[in-house]
Amino acid sequence: MFDGNDPTRPASLPGFLSELARRISDIERSNPAARASFDDGTRTRGYIGAFVHPDDANPEHGLYLVSSAGAELLLVDDTHVRIGGTQLAFGASASAGGVNSVSVGYLSSAGGIDAVAVGETANGSGDYSVVVGSVASGAGLQSSAYGVSASAGGDYSSSYGAAASAAGTYSAAFGRLASAAGSQSLAAGHGASAAGGNSIALGEGATVSAVNRGVAVGPDTSVTGVNAVAVGYAATATATGAGAFGALSDATATNAYAVGYNITGAIANTVSVNNLEVQGATVTWNGLTLSVDGSGFVKAA
């Protein structure tokens, strides 16, 4: 006899519903994908539990999420974790605005296409830039910056070291506070600076001002002349084409060369070596003008 008040009887409506719920539960337990899949009305967006692996179409267990377009977003299975999103940001207030960009760290930002920014407040705004370090930045196209506050602002530039800066196109800076501002310039060493195009500054405090093709090698060397070269501690070359070689040497005239310790090349187109000056066929040494006679002897004029 039907008893609508007896919920345990299969013939009653409450009993029928209870039995139906039990059978559905059994089905769900035997097929986790059916229990844990979800969709947006257009496509299945993911699974938690059993799913068909996208690589080999084999059964797998884990987590699988896809975008509304069907692109893989996240895959977690027994062997690996794969993240497939085109913009990935990890960390509080991190942002990845560029296509295929990745940012990692508090307030990090990767705004360039294929850009990577890693570190607190790191900023990869240049397309294809790579930035690693707190407050590091890479604004240039295909630029690279590594180190705290390192900066690569020039296209295709690279900076390595705390507060190193590569602002020139194709420039490179290596070392703390090193700066390569000139196009295709190179600065290496603490505080080294290469501001001119195609200039080179190597050594702590070595400096080439905003002149083209200057070369400074050694601690505290300085070049301010176009095509000038200074090599040695505190050597300076201030004129066009001048060259200073040796500690404290100084070449101040056009195409003048100073060679040796504490030597000054102050006369254009001359070579000064420990008070020896050569200009054309004339040799001056310690205030004496020397010449070579027909017999090959050197004599004072």
Q: Span 52-80, mean pLDDT?
A: 79
pLDDT of residue 2: 47
What is the per-residue pLDDT for 9? 54
Q: How far is CA 64 from the centre of its chain?
A: 34
Please classify residue 87 by burial: count the beta carbons closer than 10 Å to its beta carbon, then call 0-12 exposed, 13-18 middle and 19+ buried: middle
pLDDT at 33 over 50: no
Q: What count of Cα atoms within 13 Å lies in the side-chain half-sphere of residue 47?
A: 18
Higher local confidence (pLDDT), 265 or 277: 265
Task: Give the tokens for residue 260.
Answer: 């040796």
Joined together, the tokens standing for residue 229 give: 């070269």
Averaged over 243-270, what is the pLDDT? Answer: 95
Q: Residues 241, 223: contact at Cβ < 8 Å? A: no
Show Cβ contacts of residue 253 under 8 Å, excluding neighbours closer than 6 positions: 239, 242, 265, 266, 267, 268, 269, 270
Residues 145-150: what's their mean pLDDT? 98
Band (pLDDT 50/70/90 cuts) for residue 35 is: very low
The 10s digit of each residue's pLDDT in 93-131 is 999 999 999 999 999 999 999 999 999 999 999 999 999
